[in-house]
Amino acid sequence: MQDNNVAAAVVESSTPLQIIRTYADVATVKDNTIQLNETDGAEFLNSSVEFAGTGNVLFIEDGAKLRNTRLRFLGNNAVIHIRKSPRFIRLVASVFEDSVLYLGPGASFTSEARFLPTERKHVIIGADAMFSSRVTFRTADPHLIYAVGSHRRVNPSASIWVGDHVWLGEDTLLLKGARVGSGSILAARALITKPIPSNSTAAGVPGRIVGTGVFWTRPSVHAYTQAQTDRSGFEAKDDFIYSRDGFVLEIDKLEAELEQASDGPGRAAWCHRLDELTAKNRFFIA
């Protein structure tokens, strides 16, 4: 995920770089707001947080287990908000000015997922996400593109939203404007740029819908015995089937509320409000 633009942002920042490598380092960081506590069950192993700006907010829920994680604030008034999981959290993220990275509770990672929220756009991930290897998110193209006839920009940046209980396959790439409904599956090497309905499977480059009316569960079949395979032929529960009801959130409205925040603490407060919106069908997409 490192590119020339990211490296340049570190070099050009006028604010001295502040780095957290242990829980004890938190107290040394100035002009940024941090919750990163050494609580029961928490881990912060082979991980770091870098601040090349001020007014940023880092929220790591008590009990979160961070491993091989590198978080970087490359600007001011950005937010990284990470909920805890019984599993290890593994992220590499560079978050730029006024942008938000929100990771809901219960996520799992096969290897480090990579996030690049930039140009005041955001990456919002719901609960119980399952990340396979080398999943990447980018809210912007690295450079500007213009139409020859009008000289107007044709590649505006856009936020990425992923609902609850989404399986992100190996080498999946989610680009600006991607929206994924709860319960969906993104196949290996899928390139996602548009909305994916809930309980669907998307595959290919660019990603397209290849299956609908499906749901998935977490048990891995790799070491299954014959008896386990036989029992897996039917799943009676409908916990991961999503539908429209009165609790579906309007993503455009939510993002408009986030855009009204003028600083890091205001964006952090928005993240905490999203924590409280826990209805099953909140991220249903038709």
Q: What is the pLDDT of residue 14?
A: 64
Q: Please, are residues 130 and 152 in contact by the beta-carbon 8 Å criterion? A: no
Domains of the chain: 13-276 (2.160.10.10)
Give the strands of the sheet with 195-196, arranged side by side.
33-35, 57-60, 79-82, 100-103, 122-125, 160-162, 179-180, 195-196
Please report the pLDDT score of residue 9 as a whole number.
53
Q: Is 123 within 8 Å of 144 (Cβ atoms)?
A: no
Q: How far apart are CA 60 and CA 270, in angstroms?
A: 15
What does the pLDDT read at residue 147? Answer: 98
Task: Please return the burial class of 154, using the count of CB atoms within 10 Å of its CB with bins 0-12, 13-18 and 19+.
Answer: exposed
Contact (Cβ atoms closer than 8 angstroms) between residue 117 and residue 100 = yes
Token pair, residue 169, equals: 């396959």
- The span from the CA of 242 to the CA of 11, in Å, is 46
Alpha-carbon gap, residue 222 to 160, rounded angstroms: 31
Say if CB 213 and CB 229 are below 8 A apart. Answer: no
Identify the pLDDT of residue 15: 73
| Low pLDDT (below 50) residues in the chain | 1-2, 11
Could you tell me which of 64, 179, 192, 175 has the C-alpha nearest to residue 117? 175
Q: Are 139 and 158 in contact (CB under 8 A)?
A: yes
CB atoms within 10 A of CB 65: 17
